[in-house]
Structure 1
Amino acid sequence: MTDRTTDAAAAHTPEAMRAAMADYVRAVHQAYLSQSAGQPPGVRGRLALLDGHVTVAAAGVRNLHVVATTERLAPPTGEEVAVDDELGPLRWTLRFFDPVVLPALGVIDESAGPASAQVRRVLGIATHLYHLIVQPGGQLTTHHAGPAGAGLAAEHVAAARDFEAIRAHARGAEALVDEMEGAAQAGLVRAQALLAAAIAPRDEGVEALARAGAPDPTDLRRALLAAVRGERVRA
């Protein structure tokens, strides 16, 4: 009984939790690479997660938040921990944040659900490539990481293909489509809405989504694709 108690306690040490998070992130990225491997070079070339170095911030509140960004964070100080890793073309630095390292995390209330935007504000991250929510304990495993990474890759590939099609049909507005794709990769929803409205200014469906406070990026992208294909443009 003593040995089991000791093992259980060791599994919840900060070191063990950081190791589990590092394994989780690596498994997410491995699944992402596997899912995207069969795509054409042009599609893979537009997957922002594969374009150089990213920082992955693991922030502990009530939930564990895993946020990938291309933004530069200040170098670790004090008790902060950073771990570098890579898989093929994907290189990242995993940074760990909790209320001890970043006290502002300790005042975030997640009793009603994950406070993703507030966590990013506390971290000072304005744009992100992905933001995963992990329940402490059971979900912090490579078993759960695989589907998360595969799903993330599927979303990014679908977006890349949609923007490729939008660009092909929106002759004369290619620069705006490029900007919208960049905004999508950065997680800038309102910027995507404004650009979509500029690309298809006479489409009622795009206009309605653009006026929404926080339109779903996938719905917005698909509405724009339908509009530039001439499937429902209103004069």
Structure 2
Amino acid sequence: MASILVTGGTGNLGRHVVPLLRAQGHGIRVLSRSPRSGEGVDHVVGDTVSGEGLAAAVAGVDRVLHLAGSNKGDDIGTGHLVDAAHAAGVAHLVMISVVGADRMPIGYFRAKDRAERVLAGSGVPFTVLRAAQFHDFVWGMFGGMVKMPLVPAPRAIRLEPVDVGEVAARLAELVDEAPAGRVADLAGPEILDAPTLLRGIAAVRGVRRPFVPMRVPGAVGRAYRAGDNLAGDGVLRGRVTWAEYLEGRKPVPVGVAGR
């Protein structure tokens, strides 16, 4: 089976992908910025943005799964990684990106768009999967807002949250397939506006607050109102709904956990 380097393997998505790759019989090497051990994988120290340790990290691997990224230096880190991968003769690099990367005027989206362009021009055979926001990300994005005395509810913001496990499963499939360039986007089964998402979080937390309509100004507001962050035709839809995710976030009643 293949030897695979995973960047971002210790993050939320990586923690879901790595066990799947191990179950498929692959040899896994995880890149991290500090020494780690255990988990049945080979940990190597390196940093994509600085480029430190990348030549050694890609040496001898067949494929790279690039999950690491941020809105600062994502294109630089991807550039360093693909340079190392190209020099090492890596046969396939799979990268996670975000739906609407080339349309949304937000730093993280722009960074992903630049990273995609760097990869496409690198000469390394590649696959890019754009995914919508994970349920956990949406919870974190809106969770703080429901604590406010008046909850701002920007109806213009619509999201299609997707289960992180479903994204991980798709990436594990793509790593075993031939390089395909940009493949179909992966999003959740529903398109939900911010008030709906906020009400769900408030219900789970048992919080009651008045909601106040809020207009999102500027270019970002125009992009959200136009649906530039939403997947288009040909999208693959996950199955796990927002309501199902929220069900798993509900507190366990006292006395039930110990049964």
TM-score tier by shorter-chain length is under 0.3
The structure where helix makes up a greater share of residues is: 1
Higher strand fraction (1 or 2) = 2
TM-score by length of 1: 0.26
Higher relative contact order (CA 8 A, sep 6+): 1
Return the TM-score normalized by structure 2: 0.25
